[in-house]
Structure 1
Amino acid sequence: MTGKIVEVLEIDRIAAAAFIEEMYDRRFANARTRTEFEISVRDEATSLSEYALKSDSRTCCILAVSFLEDVLKNNFIDKWKIEGRKSIDAYFGGNGPLSSFSQRILIANGLSWVPEEYIKDFDYLRKIRNEFAHNHRIHSLIAEPNLSYANNLRETERIWDTERAAVYHGAYAEADQETRLRMRIFSCVMFVTGQVIARSKMIQHELPPEYREDGFFGLAEIEQDLIDVTVRHCFRSLNITRSGLG
């Protein structure tokens, strides 16, 4: 009798696991698809890349980090369904709980929208933007304190520095430090932006925030879009017109 009970329980366990997996697959299929908000983010990121490639370091970094700050604000509006000027002002106005970039980062972190390892990137990006915006003596990323801030960021611009992209490897090695760091700022902004939007969507669809399928094509579509923007930006920063990546 005991053997039959154990057998039934095992069948129930397998059925329950299959049901949960199917349910997660359906939720992820909905969560990974682009929304109108995400299409606008992708299009703005593409335009930003074009402008940043032609700009000096000060302008490039201020605009890139301001893009991240703005997307973070609009992600709150999108996910929390904040509507109307009065409500938006209540959250983001001078006395609102989300009025500053630092406050938005803090709340986003508390909501698990940001992986723990990305929090430092957020903070260093904010500091770089503030130095360029408020210190008229700073014009370069190789000037302190920006150099230290940039060197503490993830080297996301080096993801494509592999044997599969020998041209990139050579061009990156020959690039000056300012160019490399500009690429790093832009890449970090895009990776953090993709994480925030994708993780908040997973939570919205009652999935673990880190839930993804394997590989590039298992990412949320907005993550894929922003990686594509980043790849093009990095290669063009090094004057490479064809990446050679499959």
Structure 2
Amino acid sequence: MEPGQRPIEESNRYQYQTALEEITKGSDRNAAILAASMLDYNLKHILISFLIDRKETVSLFRDTNAPLTTLSGRINLAYALGLIAADEYEDCHIFRKIRNDFAHRFEVNFSFQDPEISKLSKKLKNNLFIGEGRLFGGAGELTEARESFNLAIEFLSTRLEDRANFVIQQRLTEVKWPGSSLDDYEYQVI
């Protein structure tokens, strides 16, 4: 997102819906990696919408070794600034851990049935399970862990996608601090 650009462009809505379909219908590995990518995208736009509108802000997310190029860094800053709630913060880190496990495991049959992945998926808070039923989400015959994962990413990513549009209304502006400019001082020519 460039300075002055709206947080979530309408042209991205199709891509967003297509990604959600891929997450719910695709392989476990695809779902894990794409879900984390969606959260990464949403958090980037939330933060850029909140921070001062200048090119240096964008460089925090793009430049080599920039502090906000990692999902973990974006999650932590968004939470520290109060832009995401505690349950969203925890779920984002769970999605990050699941993504990392899938991205760094070589086993071809690695899936949501893995005990550690299953345990992490069931910890997700934003999945809207109500007893044995559910409000929305899911696809086909999925494991309970995969179902929880799908519901959680659908609900959380929707919440965060909309958040950027609200956050921009609270965007930070530059403050002129006392003593921050040479114009604040009187000089005497000797």
Give yes or no for TM over 0.5.
yes
Structure-2 change in CA distance of 1:195 and 1:149 (3 Å): same
TM-score for both structures, normalised by structure 2? 0.68
Task: State the secondary structure of the residue aligned to 1:154.
Answer: coil
Give the conservation status (yes or no) of the 8 Å contact 1:61–1:186: no
* Higher helix proportion (structure 1 or 2): 1
Cα deviation for residue 155 of structure 1 reads 6.0
Cα deviation for residue 64 of structure 1 reads 1.6
For the pair shown, the structure with the greater C-alpha radius of gyration is 1
Q: Give the Cα–Cα distance (whole angstroms) in 1 for the partners of residues 11 and 80 of structure 2.
A: 26
Aligned amino acid, residue 109 of structure 1 = Y
Which residue of structure 2 lines up, in the alignment, with residue 99 of structure 1? Answer: 69
Q: Give the Cα–Cα distance (whole angstroms) in 2 for the partners of residues 120 and 40 of structure 1.
A: 29
Which residue of structure 1 lines up, in the alignment, with residue 182 of structure 2? Answer: none
1:151 lines up with 2:132 in the alignment = no
Structure-2 change in CA distance of 1:46 and 1:113 (3 Å): same
Structure-2 change in CA distance of 1:116 and 1:39 (3 Å): same
Task: State the secondary structure of the residue aligned to 2:47.
Answer: helix
Q: Give the Cα–Cα distance (whole angstroms) in 2 for the partners of residues 202 and 54 of structure 1.
A: 31
1:161 lines up with 2:133 in the alignment = yes
Aligned amino acid, residue 133 of structure 2 = D
Task: State the secondary structure of the residue aligned to 1:117.
Answer: helix
Name structure 1 gaps, 5 residues minimum. Answer: 1-34, 207-246
Structure-2 change in CA distance of 1:88 and 1:155 (3 Å): closer
Name structure 2 gaps, 5 residues minimum. Answer: 1-5, 171-190
Cα deviation for residue 95 of structure 1 reads 2.2
Q: Give the Cα–Cα distance (whole angstroms) in 2 for the partners of residues 177 and 194 of structure 1.
A: 21
Which residue of structure 2 lines up, in the alignment, with residue 183 of structure 1? Answer: 147
Give the conservation status (yes or no) of the 8 Å contact 1:37–1:78: no
Q: Give the Cα–Cα distance (whole angstroms) in 1 for the partners of residues 36 and 26 of structure 2.
A: 14
Which residue of structure 2 lines up, in the alignment, with residue 133 of structure 1? Answer: 103
Encode CA deviations 1:118-163: one digit per residue, 9 max, x unaligned.
Answer: 221111110001000001126210103211111111261525926x
Q: Give the Cα–Cα distance (whole angstroms) in 2 for the partners of residues 127 and 36 of structure 1.
A: 26
Aligned amino acid, residue 189 of structure 1 = I
Q: Count residues with an aligned counterpart.
A: 162
Encode CA deviations 1:42-76: one digit per residue, 9 max, x unaligned.
Answer: 32221113323442111122112212112222333
Q: Give the Cα–Cα distance (whole angstroms) in 2 for the partners of residues 40 and 75 of structure 1.
A: 17
Which residue of structure 2 lines up, in the alignment, with residue 39 of structure 1? Answer: 10
Which residue of structure 2 lines up, in the alignment, with residue 66 of structure 1? Answer: 37
Which residue of structure 1 lines up, in the alignment, with residue 158 of structure 2? Answer: 194
RMSD of aligned alpha carbons: 3.3
Encode CA deviations 1:146-198: one digit per residue, 9 max, x unaligned.
Answer: 11111111261525926xx8xx8xx99xx7552x4333223322332333344
Encode CA deviations 1:76-108: one digit per residue, 9 max, x unaligned.
Answer: 33443354xx76344443321212111100110
Structure-2 change in CA distance of 1:45 and 1:200 (3 Å): closer
Q: Give the Cα–Cα distance (whole angstroms) in 1 for the partners of residues 125 and 71 of structure 2.
A: 20
Q: Give the Cα–Cα distance (whole angstroms) in 1 for the partners of residues 121 and 28 of structure 2.
A: 12
Encode CA deviations 1:189-244: one digit per residue, 9 max, x unaligned.
Answer: 233233334445444435xxxxxxxxxxxxxxxxxxxxxxxxxxxxxxxxxxxxxx
Aligned amino acid, residue 161 of structure 1 = G
Task: State the secondary structure of the residue aligned to 2:115.
Answer: coil
Moved beyond 6 Å, runs of 4+: none
Cα deviation for residue 111 of structure 1 reads 1.6
Q: Give the Cα–Cα distance (whole angstroms) in 2 for the partners of residues 82 and 42 of structure 1.
A: 25
Structure-2 change in CA distance of 1:184 and 1:92 (3 Å): farther
1:57 lines up with 2:24 in the alignment = no
